[in-house]
Amino acid sequence: MKLILNKSVLAALPLAIALAGCAPSHEVANPPQQQIPASHVSMDLPAAVKNGWPQTDWWKDYHDPQLNNLIQRALANAPDMQIAEQRIRLAEAQARMSQANLGPEMDFSADIERQRMSAEGLMGPFATDTDGNTGPWYTNGTFGLTAPLDLDLWGKNRALVKARIGPS
């Protein structure tokens, strides 16, 4: 009896290991954010900001031509609000495109073939003469509609979207 029990435990061990491999992985939860009580939050601007600090050209107080040049180049190459908005819209559109792969697809195909059958060919006995031709014309049309859906059972497609656009 003891020997049979050991063999059954040994036989069940690979099955238990295989089933453990199918267990879903758990995502690491973000640590809770510390809440600041409303009584500690002040809606007033600091005194330095009220007095006009920092000035719009604060770097000129250092009298450094290299710093002046760097700030001037940075301001000249900085995008304005319209360009920044366009970049945000582009990023959002790319994110929507990435998420579109999670849904079903629709494909439509059409094919029309027109063929003149020769009386001398394989279909010769079935080809009948018409005025000015040696055989009849045949038209064959094919239309197809497919709607494939990739079932994302193990989360591969969702992981690809998350890697492409980041966590939501």
Q: What phi, psi does 132 have (nearest 5°)?
A: 80, 0
Alpha carbons 157 and 155: distance in angstroms, whole number: 6
* Per-residue tokens: 134: 């040696």
Alpha carbons 97 and 77: distance in angstroms, whole number: 29
Enter the DSSP assignment of 134.
S
CB 148 within 8 A of CB 123: no
Residue 71 makes CB contacts below 8 A (sequence gap 6+) with 59
Integer angstrom CA distances of residue 73 from 55, 62, 66, 67, 81: 19, 17, 11, 10, 18
pLDDT in tens, 53-112: 777 888 888 999 999 999 999 888 887 888 888 989 998 888 888 888 788 888 999 999
CB 141 within 8 A of CB 111: yes
pLDDT in tens, 100-137: 878 888 899 999 998 877 767 776 666 665 555 555 67
Annotated domain spans of the chain = 87-104+152-168, 107-146
pLDDT-derived band at 30 (thresholds 50, 70, 90) equals low
Enter the DSSP assignment of 141.
E
